[in-house]
Amino acid sequence: MKFLERGIKMLVVGSYPPRKCGIATFSNDTVNAISSMFGSTLPIEVCALQNEEPKLSYGEEVSYILFTSILENYSLIAEKINERNDIGLVCIQHEFGLYGGVHGDYLLAFLLALNKPVITVFHTVLPNPDEKRKKVIQTIETLSDRLIALTNKSKKILVEDYKCAQHKVIIIPHGTHTVLWEQKKALKIKYGYRDKMVLSTFGLLSENKNIETALYALKDVVKKHPNVVYLVIGKTHPEIIKKEGEAYRNRLLEITRKLKLQDHIIFINKYLELKQLLEYLTLSNIYLFTSKDPNQAVSGTLVYALSCGCAVISNPIPHAIEVLKNENGVLLENFGDSNELKYNILDLIENKNKRTKIAKNAFANIRYSTWENVAIKYGLLFGKLTERIEDLRFNLPPIKLNHIQKLTTNHGILQFSNFSEPDINSGYTLDDNARALINMVMHYNLYGKKSVLNYADIYLSFIENIQRDNGWFDNYMNYKLELTKNNYKTNLEDANGRAIWSLGYVIGHQEKLPIGFIQRAEKCLQKTIERIDEINSPRAIAYAIKGLCHYYTTNSDILIKIKVESLANKLLQHYKVNYEEGWHWYEDYLTYANNILPEAMMYSYLMTKNEDYKKIAEITFDFLLSQYFMKRQIKVISNRGWFKKKNERKFHGEQPIEIATTIIALDLFYRITGKIKYKNQLEIAFSWFLGNNHLNQIMYNPENGASYDGLEDTHVNINQGAESTLCFFKAQMIMDKYNRKVTVYSYRKAKSKRQWDHIFPAILNA
């Protein structure tokens, strides 16, 4: 997919806010997610279902209102939709109680009259259907292009019990929202539960919730653990209110009084806005799912709790059986057994390590179902059924400094994080602080926000403090600011090359930066510049070339040019030694940050005008790209094993650093050569972060602007370390430049050396 003018639309048919029900929330979340991911290239409208007058007050996205108890309305609305050339697909939310007739068979009149591609999303799939129910579902299948099941179990029932064609049933999970793990403590304080063990349940209240099971279980729990509180979050279901008022809630209140639990049970009788609901779930230690319907196919409340990092204890509904495996939660054996529930509550309260492990497993393993990932699946299906997949383009997510700021202490940027929580035990590296320094200078150069210079100052100070007296740099420092043994166990050349790159980059932007800042960078660089000739690692050579070229844009010392030529010739020699037919590369394997090598050759060409450097830069870069780009996706070298020229290549285990360095190099090559292929590949490469990868999952955290650490074969590693986040951050800034228009330079178009001497710094410092 690419990054368009307004396209044809999807129409979502379902209950919709301000109507208060689970499917209304689901419909709204689906609309918001697809709009957020695809914007004007997949616009959404809504046909809202109402079961009675008067008409509710809807948002502008609602184009039609279908009163479900009136049969004639179904064909009438369908005919209006048929008249619209701009509606390409209709997405129907199905629940038996949503539509009029027997088993909701009024919907069939709508489907029979509709002349558009249709996908039907099944929220309830009951096993062992009677003949009437089975006939309704089979007719829906016949009149739909695809059926969406929310779980594997639902798909199995549709295929086996209802005899639906297996190829027509696609699984797209119920969506979830992204929260930050480390917010748990702060939210407990915010809501006054600092020292409490918080249990919760949420959702529209009805007898099916079976909350009384939890109340009876807690009678003995609070005797052992008086700091326990249980939040029962949600209003009574509006349909229940119509039939019996607050009888069920009053019964729960009476049980609470009878068991003397008033100090421990808190009824939050509100329909909470999403933000507050997620906060309540995030601060909860344990989530209780006590629903007593053994055939409940899916539960949005269950997956929301998992996505907020709750340790879940659940009755064995089909959805829970599916998602709580592999220590993602605790699955009860029986429905309505308060003693079994009590035992498991006590077990989790009294075993913090077990409780935390379960919660973290759930938090990580449910991430595939974020609304962004769900939206991608709907977008791909839309594109396939409408034959418009090439028209879909991802929206660019906003650039956020949040996670970078969180990882940064007064001394530097920390190396790793556990999920999004900074890991102080990982300490600091020169590598990451050099990257961070470049990013902050680039951000300031593009957007002029002076606050980022405070962070740039921290990163430059780290580089100053880790430099040895002989000009060389160490790389590893712990949280106590002590050099670690890793500095003597690993080759530090690449880290030193990155330091040279960052210092040269700073000096190259001296016109916009404070003079004192530039002087500090120059002092550091001058101490190490004499040692540059000692570098032999190809990547360290490449980083050093980049740094020296940036330095040269403002300090055109002939000695710097000589050093660049010397280093470039070393890279050229590496190429000559390792080149053979079909293998145009500097080494006999492809490892990490490969793009830096041809990029450095192109930098060398910019400074020296040596056409040999440019020729080899393009040959080697094109060879590398031929290994990366396949079927409009990028697949970079796996961290599970480098790709040696005589071995079979391994896939998966992809990291953001390789995607970002590809984008950086493509940007340079496009701006110099003007070849449109580089710009097209740049967009494809960035779309890897946005979901154009083999898992079709986003590789960034929409809450804090971080990047996830790795794309594995079956899942995303959702830790958010400095390297990954800084790489994504820089890639975003490059893409933002393209939104605002990029200037293409060509040496061949420069009419004089003077003209080129002006173009050269403009290219490097853009």
Decide if pLDDT at 2 tops 50.
Answer: no
CA–CA dist 42, 435 (Å, integer):
36
Q: Return the amino acid letter for 531.
A: R
Backbone region of residue 203 per phi and psi (left: phi > 0; alpha: psi in -120 to 50; beta: other values): left
The string of pLDDT tens digits covering residues 214-268 is: 999 999 999 999 999 999 999 988 888 888 889 999 999 999 999 999 999 999 9
Taken in order 284, 287, 291, 294, the sign of the CA dihedral is positive
- Of 653, 224, 705, the closest CA to residue 443 belongs to 705
Q: Point out the domain boundary residue: 369, 393, 418.
A: 369
pLDDT at residue number 3: 41
- pLDDT, average across residues 611-632: 95
Decide if pLDDT at 29 tops 90.
Answer: yes
Q: Which of 281-285, 700-704, 736-740 has the lowest mean pLDDT?
A: 736-740
DSSP assignment, residue 177? Answer: -
CA distances from 625 to 20, 438, 695, 724 (A): 51, 25, 21, 21
Q: How many CA atoms lie within 13 A of 359 on its CB side?
A: 27
pLDDT at residue number 7: 65
- Of 89, 90, 99, 146, the closest CA to residue 124 belongs to 99
- Reported confidence tier of residue 756, pLDDT bands at 50, 70, 90: low
pLDDT at residue number 301: 94
CA–CA dist 734, 729 (Å, integer):
9
The string of pLDDT tens digits covering residues 469-479 is: 999 999 999 99
Decide if pLDDT at 406 tops 90.
Answer: yes
CA–CA dist 746, 759 (Å, integer):
9
Whether residue 383 is contained in a domain is answered as: no
pLDDT at residue number 5: 40
Alpha carbon dihedral 604, 607, 611, 612, in 10-degree steps, equals: -30
Decide if pLDDT at 328 tops 80.
Answer: yes
Tokens 């853009």 found at = 766
- pLDDT, average across residues 577-603: 94
List, in sequence order, every residue forming a beta bridge with 700; answer none if it has no partner: 707
DSSP assignment, residue 291? Answer: -
3-state secondary structure of 179: coil
The reply to whether 554 and 701 lie within a common domain is: yes
> Which stretches of 183-329 are assigned E, i.e. beta strand?
197-202, 228-233, 265-268, 286-289, 311-314
| Widest Cα–Cα separation across the chain | 93
Q: Return the amino acid letter for 743.
A: T
The string of pLDDT tens digits covering residues 134-145 is: 999 999 999 999
- Reported confidence tier of residue 530, pLDDT bands at 50, 70, 90: confident
Whether residue 715 is contained in a domain is answered as: yes
Task: Identify the H or E element spanning 119.
Answer: strand 118-122
Q: Name the pTM for this structure.
A: 0.94
pLDDT winner (highest mean) among 350-364, 546-560, 729-743: 350-364
Whether residue 298 is contained in a domain is answered as: yes
Q: Which residues of 311-333 are buried (b: 16+ CB within 10 A; e: fewer)?
A: bbbbbebbbbebbbeeebbbbbe
pLDDT at residue number 751: 52
pLDDT at residue number 752: 57
- pLDDT, average across residues 717-727: 98
Burial class (CB in 10 A: 0-12, 13-18, 19+), 462: buried
Alpha carbon dihedral 20, 23, 28, 33, in 10-degree steps, equals: 150
pLDDT at residue number 113: 97
Please name the residues in contact with 361: beta carbons below 8 A apart, sequence gap of 6 or more: 326, 327, 328
The reply to whether 165 and 189 lie within a common domain is: no
Decide if pLDDT at 401 tops 80.
Answer: yes
- pLDDT, average across residues 114-118: 97
- pLDDT, average across residues 724-729: 98
If one counts the domains in the chain, the total is: 3
Q: Which range of residues forms the domain containing residue 93?
A: 9-171
- Distance from first CA to last CA of the chain, Å, rounded? 27
- pLDDT, average across residues 389-397: 91
Phi/psi of residue 654, nearest 5 degrees:
-90, 140
- Please give the mean pLDDT across all residues of the chain: 93
The string of pLDDT tens digits covering residues 425-435 is: 999 999 999 99
pLDDT at residue number 162: 97
The reply to whether 550 and 434 lie within a common domain is: yes
List, in sequence order, every residue forming a beta bridge with 408; answer none if it has no partner: 413
CA distances from 559 to 234, 471, 520, 599 (A): 72, 18, 21, 22
Whether residue 294 is contained in a domain is answered as: yes
Decide if pLDDT at 4 tops 70.
Answer: no
What Rg value do the Cα atoms of the chain yield, rounded? 30
DSSP assignment, residue 445? Answer: H
- Let me know the angle formed at the C-alpha of 174 by 140 and 233, rounded to the nearest 5 degrees: 120
Q: Point out the domain boundary residue: 128, 147, 171.
A: 171
CA–CA dist 511, 514 (Å, integer):
8
Phi/psi of residue 315, nearest 5 degrees:
-65, 155
Contact 592, 655 (CB under 8 A): yes
Structure tokens given for 455: 């962070």
Output the DSSP codes for 567-582. Answer: HHHHHHHHHHHH-BTT
pLDDT at residue number 246: 92
CA–CA dist 385, 8 (Å, integer):
12
Please name the residues in contact with 186: beta carbons below 8 A apart, sequence gap of 6 or more: none
Whether residue 49 is contained in a domain is answered as: yes
Decide if pLDDT at 596 tops 60.
Answer: yes
CA–CA dist 722, 111 (Å, integer):
51
Domain at 145, CATH number:
3.40.50.2000
Structure tokens given for 293: 């319907």
Decide if pLDDT at 743 tops 80.
Answer: no
Angle, in degrees to the nearest 10, between helices 22-38 and 371-386: 70
Decide if pLDDT at 28 tops 60.
Answer: yes
- Of 725, 728, 694, 723, the closest CA to residue 711 belongs to 694
Contact 213, 336 (CB under 8 A): yes
- pLDDT, average across residues 280-287: 98
Whether residue 177 is contained in a domain is answered as: no
The reply to whether 205 and 88 lie within a common domain is: no
Contact 607, 552 (CB under 8 A): yes
The reply to whether 153 and 203 lie within a common domain is: no
Structure tokens given for 525: 């660089």
Tokens 């997610």 found at = 33
- pLDDT, average across residues 378-388: 95
pLDDT at residue number 749: 54
CA–CA dist 564, 605 (Å, integer):
10
The reply to whether 410 and 337 lie within a common domain is: no
The reply to whether 660 and 719 lie within a common domain is: yes
The reply to whether 154 and 214 lie within a common domain is: no
The reply to whether 349 and 409 lie within a common domain is: no
Contact 530, 471 (CB under 8 A): yes
Q: Point out the domain boundary residue: 348, 369, 390.
A: 369
Structure tokens given for 535: 């570098």
CA–CA dist 320, 299 (Å, integer):
8
Decide if pLDDT at 616 tops 50.
Answer: yes
Whether residue 308 is contained in a domain is answered as: yes
Contact 114, 142 (CB under 8 A): no
Please name the residues in contact with 626: beta carbons below 8 A apart, sequence gap of 6 or more: none
The reply to whether 566 and 599 lie within a common domain is: yes
Decide if pLDDT at 748 tops 60.
Answer: no
The reply to whether 235 and 259 lie within a common domain is: yes
Q: Which of 184-188, 432-436, 736-740 has the lowest mean pLDDT?
A: 736-740
Please name the residues in contact with 366: beta carbons below 8 A apart, sequence gap of 6 or more: 176, 303, 306, 307, 323, 328
Domain at 749, CATH number:
1.50.10.10
Whether residue 434 is contained in a domain is answered as: yes
Q: CB 505: neighbour CB atoms within 10 A?
A: 24
The reply to whether 351 and 498 lie within a common domain is: no
pLDDT at residue number 271: 86
